[in-house]
Structure 1
Amino acid sequence: MRDIMGMMGKVKEMQAKMEQMQAEIAELTAEGKAGGGLVTVIISGKGELKSLKIDPSLFREDDVEILEDLIVAAHKDAKDKAEALAAEKTKALTAGLPIPPGFKLPF
């Protein structure tokens, strides 16, 4: 019985830490660039687009497709960085816990 109570206490502690971690991740920002910096995107830890900067040299009618591709690439770059930051925070929180490989947190 003592083991169950101890385990329940650890679960509550873990839950509180997860909530704090999720709040911290939401506050993170990540910057992605494409085209050698011609397009820059900043996203939140939740993946929400916060800022988009486009070099004026890309504002030519015949470059619209290139611009569209660069925006998508910059967003992907920023998203990958935000996910890596979130994974680092999650790894630090769950260090030492017996979590199966491939198990995604938060629940």
Structure 2
Amino acid sequence: MFGDIMGMMGKLKETQEKVEATKKRLDSVLIDEASSDGLLKITLTANRKIKNLEIDDSLLEDKEQLEDYLVLTLNKAIEKATGVHEAELAAVAKEGMPNIPGMDGMFK
């Protein structure tokens, strides 16, 4: 019985280390997003850190339009990055979880 608990604890620790390694790796996964007309381009990591912004000069003439572009494009980019982030971490967590009765449907 204690061997099973110790095995599970070891597996959980190993999974936690894999999750941390995955989070670190996601800093190098880049997500690109652009406005529909290509006037604004954003690159961020799968950890949702902005790496680059490209703003067409024409957007600099209208503050309100630029703000709208930023909100829409950033939200789309963050949504994509969040999807990648959550999928990667869920895969690691599911792979590393010990077989605990009653919890098998939790990560499906």
Say whether the fold is shared (TM-score over 0.5).
yes
Question: For the Cα contact (< 8 Å) 1:35–1:70, is it kept in 2?
Answer: no
SS of the equivalent of 2:47 reads coil
Alpha-carbon RMSD across the aligned residues, in angstroms, is 1.9
TM-superposed deviation, 1:95: 2.7
Write the mapping of 1:1-107 to structure 2, written as runs, cut at 5 A.
1-60=2-61, 63-95=62-94, 97=97, 98=103, 100=106
CA–CA distance in structure 2, aligned partners of residues 13 and 53 of structure 1: 40
Question: For the Cα contact (< 8 Å) 1:42–1:52, is it kept in 2?
Answer: yes
Question: For the Cα contact (< 8 Å) 1:32–1:79, is it kept in 2?
Answer: no
TM-superposed deviation, 1:30: 1.2
Q: TM-score, normalised by structure 2?
A: 0.78
CA–CA distance in structure 2, aligned partners of residues 32 and 90 of structure 1: 22
CA–CA distance in structure 2, aligned partners of residues 59 and 7 of structure 1: 57
CA–CA distance in structure 1, aligned partners of residues 93 and 48 of structure 2: 22
Counterpart AA for 1:87? E
TM-superposed deviation, 1:100: 4.0
Give unmatched runs, 5+ long, in structure 2: 98-102
TM-superposed deviation, 1:52: 0.8
Give unmatched runs, 5+ long, in structure 1: 102-107
Q: TM-score, normalised by structure 1?
A: 0.78
SS of the equivalent of 2:26 reads helix
CA–CA distance in structure 2, aligned partners of residues 26 and 94 of structure 1: 18
SS of the equivalent of 1:52 reads strand
Counterpart AA for 1:46? N
TM-superposed deviation, 1:65: 0.4
Counterpart AA for 1:36? D
* CA offsets 1:45-99 (integer angstroms, 9 cap, x no match): 2322211111222232xx2201111012111111111111112211221235437
CA–CA distance in structure 2, aligned partners of residues 14 and 57 of structure 1: 49
TM-superposed deviation, 1:34: 1.8
